[in-house]
Structure 1
Amino acid sequence: MSNGGQVSYPNSNAPEPSGTAWDELTSPLLHTRYDNAKYQMVDSDVLPFWIAEMDFPPAQEIRDAWTDAIASGSIGYVHESLRLREGFATFAKRRWGWDLKLEQMHATRDVYQAVRDALHLFLPENGGHIALHTPNYNGFAVMFSALPQAKVSQLELQQTIAISDGRQTISIDIDYAALEEYFRTASVDVFVLCNPHNPFGRVWSAAELERLAQLCAKYRVAVVSDEIHAPLTHRDATFIPFAPIAAKHGVPCFVTTSASKSWNIPGTKCALLIAAGTAETAILADFPTPINAGFDRFGYLGNLAAFTAGEAWLERAIERIEANQILLRETLDPAIPVSTPNASYLAWLDLRNLGLGDSPTQTLLSQQRIKLADGDVYGRGGQGFARFNVGCAPEMVIEGARRINTAIGRN
Structure 2
Amino acid sequence: MPHPFDALTADAMRAGGSWKWSGSGVGGGVDAHGRGLIGAFVAEMDFPTAGPVADAVRASADASRFGYLADAWVADLAAACAAFWADRFNWSVDPERIRPVPDVMTALVATIEHFTPPGTPVLLPTPAYMPFLTVPGRLGREMVPVPMSRDPFALDVDALDAAFAASGSRLLVLTNPHNPTGRVFTADELAGITAVVERHGARVFADEIHAPLTFDGRVHVPYASTSDTAAAHTITATSASKAWNLPGLKCGQVILSNAADAARWSERGYLAEHSTATPGVLASTAAYVHGREWLDDVLTYLDGNRARLRDTPLPGVGVTVPEGTYLAWLDGTALDLDEPPSAFFAREAGVVMTDGAACAGPGGMRLNLAMGRPVLAEALERMAAALG
Q: Same fold (TM over 0.5)?
A: yes
1:96 aligns with 2:76: no
Match of residue 108 from structure 1? 101
In the alignment, the residues of structure 1 paired with residue 124 and residue 133 of structure 2 have an alpha-carbon distance, to the nearest angstrom, of: 11
Residue of structure 2 aligned with 1:357, choices 338, 345, 367: 338
Residue of structure 2 aligned with 1:74, choices 65, 68, 71: 65
SS in 2 for 1:383: coil
SS in 2 for 1:232: coil
Match of residue 19 from structure 2? 37
- Alignment-mate amino acid for residue 314 of structure 2: D
From the superposition, tell whether residues 276 and 30 of structure 1 become closer, same or farther in structure 2 (CA, over 3 Å).
same
Task: Answer yes or no: is the 8 Å Cα contact 1:110–1:271 preserved in 2.
Answer: yes
Shift in Å at residue 175 of structure 1?
Answer: 2.2
Residues 252-331 of structure 1: matches in 2 within 5 Å? 252-289=233-270, 293-331=274-312
Shift in Å at residue 55 of structure 1?
Answer: 0.5
In the alignment, the residues of structure 1 paired with residue 202 and residue 208 of structure 2 have an alpha-carbon distance, to the nearest angstrom, of: 19
For residues 153-198 of structure 1, the C-alpha deviation after alignment (integer angstroms, 9 at most, x for no partner) is 00001122xxxxxxxxxx2022222222222333221011001100
In the alignment, the residues of structure 1 paired with residue 338 and residue 305 of structure 2 have an alpha-carbon distance, to the nearest angstrom, of: 28
SS in 1 for 2:194: helix
Residue of structure 2 aligned with 1:133, choices 125, 132, 140: 125
In the alignment, the residues of structure 1 paired with residue 334 and residue 272 of structure 2 have an alpha-carbon distance, to the nearest angstrom, of: 53
Shift in Å at residue 254 of structure 1?
Answer: 0.4
Residue ranges of structure 1 left out of the alignment (5+ in a row): 1-12, 161-170
Shift in Å at residue 121 of structure 1?
Answer: 1.6
In the alignment, the residues of structure 2 paired with residue 405 and residue 337 of structure 1 have an alpha-carbon distance, to the nearest angstrom, of: 13
In the alignment, the residues of structure 2 paired with residue 211 and residue 406 of structure 1 have an alpha-carbon distance, to the nearest angstrom, of: 43
Task: Answer yes or no: is the 8 Å Cα contact 2:5–2:373 preserved in 1.
Answer: no
**Aligned residues with identical type, % of pairs:** 29
How many residue pairs get aligned? The number is: 377
Shift in Å at residue 313 of structure 1?
Answer: 0.8
Task: Answer yes or no: is the 8 Å Cα contact 1:339–1:347 preserved in 2.
Answer: yes
Task: List, as ranges, runs of 4+ consecutive aligned residues in structure 1 with deviation greater than 6 Å.
Answer: none
1:370 aligns with 2:383: no
TM-score (norm 1): 0.87
SS in 2 for 1:323: helix
Task: Answer yes or no: is the 8 Å Cα contact 1:268–1:296 preserved in 2.
Answer: yes
From the superposition, tell whether residues 334 and 251 of structure 1 become closer, same or farther in structure 2 (CA, over 3 Å).
farther
- Alignment-mate amino acid for residue 184 of structure 1: A
Shift in Å at residue 285 of structure 1?
Answer: 2.7
Residue of structure 1 aligned with 2:189, choices 203, 208, 213: 208
More helix by percentage:
2
SS in 2 for 1:93: helix
In the alignment, the residues of structure 2 paired with residue 205 and residue 392 of structure 1 have an alpha-carbon distance, to the nearest angstrom, of: 28
In the alignment, the residues of structure 1 paired with residue 64 and residue 96 of structure 2 have an alpha-carbon distance, to the nearest angstrom, of: 30
**275-284 or 107-116: which moved more?**
275-284
Residue ranges of structure 2 left out of the alignment (5+ in a row): 29-35
In the alignment, the residues of structure 1 paired with residue 251 and residue 380 of structure 2 have an alpha-carbon distance, to the nearest angstrom, of: 34
Residue of structure 2 aligned with 1:156, choices 123, 147, 150: 147
From the superposition, tell whether residues 235 and 368 of structure 1 become closer, same or farther in structure 2 (CA, over 3 Å).
closer
1:61 aligns with 2:44: no
In the alignment, the residues of structure 1 paired with residue 158 and residue 123 of structure 2 have an alpha-carbon distance, to the nearest angstrom, of: 15
Shift in Å at residue 145 of structure 1?
Answer: 3.7
From the superposition, tell whether residues 291 and 194 of structure 1 become closer, same or farther in structure 2 (CA, over 3 Å).
closer
